[in-house]
Amino acid sequence: MTEAAAEPGRAHRPGAGRTERAAAVARRIPRLPTPVWDSLLPALLLLNAATTPAPREPVLTVALTAALVLPLLWRRRAPLVVFGAVVAAALVQWLLDIQLPADIAVLVALYTLAAHSARRTTLVAGAVVEAGVLLACLRWAPDGAFLTPFVAVTAMTAAAAVLGMNVRTTRAYLAAVEERAAHLEREQEQQARLAVAEERARITREMHDIVTHNLSVMVALADAAGYARQRSPDRADAAMRQISETGRQALTDMRRSLGVLRADEPDAERHPLPGIAQLDALAEQMSAAGLPTGLEVEGDHDHLPATAQLTVYRLVQEALTNALKHTPAGTRATVRIRCSAGTVTVDVADTGPRPATSAATPSSSGHGIPGMRERAAAYGGTLRAGPLPGGGWGVRTRLLLDSAGAVSA
């Protein structure tokens, strides 16, 4: 099978396989440690000085070569100090009028200094080396041929300095890119943690609303069935059927809310999110549980987003559940929903007095009133819950549809 066939969509390039294999082989070749690389040039220059016959004073030649090249072993750790030592050795060599191949150590030291120091330091070091080039050419250039070696050595000096500065710039750029990548990775991790926390809070609110409401209704229906079992068996049977229906509805709501955690959960598709259209069934359920509830819906709600309708439904559900739990028998509740182009007003009121201990309970702990405030705040609304002037308890808020996508409802 050819490479083009093995990788559909990738154009076949002549020689691409050989290039990739060569690159793979190169990657498998072990790289020498940095100290080994740094010691190669000094070792070669010292070997050359020791084995090449010197025109005069061989011992001094080897000593000067060692003074020029041995500091290069520490050039990465102390580039400025190494540069100074190499330049000092070169000055001594010039004063002794001895020419050596080891003078290349000056260029290596300049390159290293440029790769690890600021531009001003590099310019000063380049000027020092250029002064040495001038002195060397004045002393050792052949008669009448000063310009050629001077230009050649000056070009090598400039190349060493520029190459070192380019290495330094590239290293700084790569460090900045790595820092930015690390910063972006930290931001992504933080955003992921915030998204997880927000999703947990959403699921917690949903579970609280579903479990609290349905259990409260089931408990009320069970009590009613127990009282009516002897006097009115038909009403007791109806209450038990309502308990069964409420339990099934609770399971459906829980599967729908937790379906986002499972890719193979089809329940959310079979049962759409509850909205304003389901408030009639909610009012009937609360009435059957012992809290007669009236519902008034003004305006067209078909244009409202599904998430906004879910928020309205959960607000009404939680308010009615609190009324069912904290008011005596005979209490009535009224739900008024007003829909407009940009806002939805939710007003839930009941006629029952609250005991002093339970009046503060919904807002002091748990996820009841705080959860309702979070839902309202997701749409730019402020929820007000408290006693009404004429008696009873009221919950009121206005949702702004323009901020619907700001926070998960």
Residue 328 sits in a domain whose CATH number is 3.30.565.10
CA 33 to chain CA centroid, Å, is 36
DSSP reduced 3-state for 391: coil
Q: Looking at the structure, tell me whether residues 45 and 182 fall in a common domain.
A: yes
Does the structure show a pLDDT above 50 at 287? yes
User: What percent of the chain has a predicted confidence (pLDDT) above 90?
Assistant: 23
194 lies in some domain: no
Quote the pLDDT of residue 358.
44
| Each residue's pLDDT tens digit, 375-406 | 888 888 889 988 888 888 899 999 998 764 44
CA angle 62, 67, 72 (to 5 degrees): 120
Name the band, by pLDDT with cuts 50, 70 and 90, for residue 141. confident
pLDDT 10s digits, 80-131: 999 999 999 999 989 988 888 888 889 999 999 999 988 899 999 999 999 9
The b-or-e profile of 303-334 (16+ CB within 10 A means b, else e) is ebeeebbbbbbbbbbbbbbbbbbbbeeebbbb
**What is 28-42 written as a DSSP string?**
HSPPPPHHHHHHHHH
Q: Which residue has the higher pLDDT, 237 or 300?
A: 300
H-type alpha helices, 96-146: 104-116, 119-140
Mean pLDDT score across all residues of the chain: 79
Name which residue leads in pLDDT, 347 or 35: 347
Radius of gyration for the chain, computed over Cα atoms and rounded to the nearest angstrom: 42
Q: Are the CB atoms for 368 and 362 separated by under 8 Å?
A: yes
Is residue 259 a part of any domain in this protein?
no
Using the predicted structure, report yes or no on whether residue 30 has a pLDDT greater than 70.
no
CB-CB contact of 335 with 296 (8 Å): yes
Who has greater pLDDT, 149 or 220? 149
What is the per-residue burial (b if ≥16 Cβ within 10 Å, else e) of 381-398? bebebeeeeeebbbbbbb
Do 152 and 24 reside in the same domain of the chain?
yes
Q: Please state the domain count of the chain.
A: 2
The alpha carbon of residue 96 and the mean position of all alpha carbons in its chain are separated, in whole angstroms, by 64
Does residue 34 register a pLDDT over 60? yes
Strands 343-350 and 293-298: unpaired
pLDDT for res 125: 92
pLDDT tens-place string over residues 165-191: 999 999 899 999 999 999 998 898 888
As a whole number, mean pLDDT of residues 348-364 equals 61
Indicate whether 209 belongs to any domain.
no
Locus of tokens 């050596």: 100
Residues 44 and 166 in one domain: yes
Indicate if 169 and 39 belong to the same structural domain: yes
pLDDT above 70: percentage of residues in the chain: 79
Q: Is there a domain that residue 251 lies in?
A: no
Task: Give pLDDT, residue 364.
Answer: 41
What is the pLDDT confidence band of residue 361, given thresholds at 50, 70 and 90? Answer: very low
Pairing of strands 333-339, 293-298: parallel
The whole-angstrom separation of Cα 274 and Cα 310 is 6
**Position 248 in a domain:** no
Does 296 reside within a domain?
yes
∠ CA 152-154-159, nearest 5°, is: 95
**What pLDDT is recorded for position 76?**
85
Q: Is residue 257 part of a domain?
A: no
* Closest to 107 measured CA to CA, from 146, 163, 65, 58: 163
**In terms of pLDDT, which residue wins out, 355 or 191?**
191
Q: Tokens standing for 88?
A: 């000092």
Q: How many CA atoms lie within 13 A of 17 on its CB side?
A: 7
51 with 181, same domain: the answer is yes
Element (H, E) at 230: helix 147-231
At 360 the pLDDT is 41
Q: Are residues 309 and 169 in the same domain?
A: no
Q: Of 140, 157, 187, which residue constitutes the final position of a domain?
A: 187
Task: Kindly state whether residue 340 falls inside one of the protein's structural domains.
Answer: yes
Mean pLDDT of the 190-215 span: 77
More confident of the two residues 325 and 1? 325
Domain final position from 187, 219, 251: 187
| Residue 24 banded pLDDT, cuts 50, 70, 90 | low
User: Do residues 317 and 289 touch, judged by C-beta distance below 8 A?
Assistant: no
Same domain for 170 and 36: yes
Alpha helix ranges (H) inside 75-118: 79-95, 104-116
Nearest to 378 by CA among 348, 399, 361: 399
pLDDT class for 238, splitting at 50, 70, 90? Answer: confident
Domain boundaries, position 359: 290-409
Residues 51 and 175 in one domain: yes
Point out the domain boundary residue: 187, 203, 237. Answer: 187
Render pLDDT for 319-343 as a digit per residue (tens, 0 to 9): 898 888 888 888 899 999 999 888 9
